[in-house]
């Protein structure tokens, strides 16, 4: 294996893990998924086209493998949050424990298609086009899934309403209505 | 009656347009979660795996 290829594969691993965890909601299973993805990828490294995006290539393999194998076993939403929380190094207190927990629970409730689209675009940093390629669907489909995912998350976390931001927003509303 | 709040949850099929503020907040939470895993780097098992598969071609003793 070419050294530059080896480095590119290694460099993609952290993000690949984050994606895998978000897909299966269980750290141990996610790491197995990453391991199987790497083995498949490296066994077929000749089909990787040099000069193209290594991350996107690996994400595609991982996603397809997950779809064909892992989805048969049911996602364990109940235990996922605890296990996931354990895997996080940042202490939740640092960033609003309640909201962060709510967010993870809400994310776990999204339909798989929406969750995957949101993660690819909102966290992995892929363009809509790249995400569409990874998921094997149209760009418009990805955009619509991302929008639905956001709306649903806001709904689940009850932050969709205009008054849900608390004092700040209320103050602003008062200022806006009475500030003439 | 004072029901001034617009209740637009589950307002049919049409997705509600979220404010920038809400979108930013969701995006922040998402990246916080994702980056926490990314910042854990490459676990040893994967470095070993890649090196082992790589090493099948060119043996490096130990």
pLDDT in 10s for each residue of chain B, 62 residues = 444 444 444 444 455 678 888 888 899 999 999 999 999 999 999 999 998 887 765 544 33
Which residues in chain A are contacts of B58 at CB distance < 8 A? Answer: none
Residue A174 lies in a domain: no
Whole-angstrom CA distances from A139 to A30, A132, B22 are 27, 5, 24
Task: Give yes or no: residues A149 and A72 share one domain.
Answer: no
Interchain proximity B34–A119, CB inside 8 Å: yes
Query: What's the angle, vertex CA A54, arms to CA A50 and CA A57, rounded to 5?
Result: 105
Q: How many domains does chain A have?
A: 2
Report the residue of chain B nearest A102, measured CA to CA. B29
| A8 Cα to chain B: minimum distance (Å) | 11
Same domain, A55 and A84: yes
Q: Is B60 helix (H, G, I), strand (E, B) or coil?
A: coil
| Alpha-carbon distances, residue A135 vs A14, A31, A34, A45, B15 (angstroms) | 20, 20, 17, 20, 22
Contacts for B40 with CB less than 8 Å, ≥ 6 apart: A14, A17, A87, A89
DSSP codes joined into one string, B9-46: TT-SSSPPPPPHHHHHHHHHHHHHHHHHHHTT---HHH
**pLDDT range class, residue A24, cuts 50, 70, 90:** confident
Query: Taking CB atoms and an 8 Å cutoff, what residues of chain B touch A31?
Result: 43, 45
Do A77 and A118 belong to one domain? no
Asked if A147 and A106 sit in the same domain, the reply is yes
Residue among B16, B32, B50 whose CB faces A38 most closely: B50
Residue A56 lies in a domain: yes
Residues A139, A111, single domain; the answer is: yes
- Contact between B36 and A27 under an 8 Å Cβ cutoff? The reply is no
Beta-carbon separation of B50 and A17 below 8 A: no
Better pLDDT: A57 or A164: A57
A53 lies in the same domain as A1: yes
- Residue B37: closest CA among A24, A77, A173: A24
Contact list in A for residue B43 (CB cut-off 8 A) is 13, 17, 31
Q: Is A46 inside a domain boundary?
A: yes
Q: Does A163 touch chain B (CB under 8 A)?
A: yes
Q: What is the CATH number of the domain that holds A17?
A: 1.10.1740.10
A32 lies in some domain: yes
Closest CA to A10 of B57, B31, B49: B49
Share of chain A above pLDDT 70, in %: 74
| ipTM beyond cut 0.85 | no
Region A25-30 average pLDDT: 86
Is residue A122 within 8 angstroms of chain B, CB to CB? Answer: yes
Domain residue limits at A118: 96-162
Instruction: Calculate how close chain A gets to B60, using CA atoms only, in Å.
Output: 14
Clarify whether residues A82 and A5 are in a common domain.
yes
> Does A159 contact B8 at a Cβ distance shorter than 8 Å?
no
- Whether this prediction's pTM lies above 0.90 is answered by no
- List the single residue in A14, A95, A162 with the smallest CB-CB distance to B32: A95
């Amino acid at each position: 294996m070419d050294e530059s290829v080896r480095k590119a594969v290694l460099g993609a691993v952290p993000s690949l893990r984050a994606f895998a965890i978000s897909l299966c909601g269980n750290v141990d299973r996610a790491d197995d998924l990453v391991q199987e993805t790497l083995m498949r990828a490296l066994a077929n490294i000749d089909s990787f086209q040099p000069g193209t995006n290594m991350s996107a290539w690996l994400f595609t393999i991982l996603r397809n493998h997950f779809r064909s194998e892992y989805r048969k076993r049911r996602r364990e939403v109940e235990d996922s949050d605890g296990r996931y929380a354990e895997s996080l190094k940042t202490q939740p207190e640092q960033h609003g424990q309640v909201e962060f927990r709510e967010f993870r629970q809400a994310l776990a409730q999204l339909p798989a298609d929406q969750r995957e689209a949101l993660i690819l675009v909102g966290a992995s940093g892929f363009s809509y086009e790249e995400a569409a390629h990874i998921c094997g669907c149209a760009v418009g489909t990805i955009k619509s899934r991302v929008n639905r995912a956001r709306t649903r998350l806001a709904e689940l976390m009850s932050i969709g309403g205009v008054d849900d931001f608390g004092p700040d927003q209320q103050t602003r509303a008062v200022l806006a209505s009475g500030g003439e | 009656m004072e029901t001034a709040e617009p209740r637009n949850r589950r307002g049919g099929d049409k997705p509600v347009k979220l404010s920038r503020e809400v979108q930013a907040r969701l995006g922040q939470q998402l990246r916080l979660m994702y980056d926490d895993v990314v910042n854990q780097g490459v676990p040893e098992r994967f470095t070993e795996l890649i090196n082992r598969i790589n090493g099948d071609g060119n043996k490096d003793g130990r």
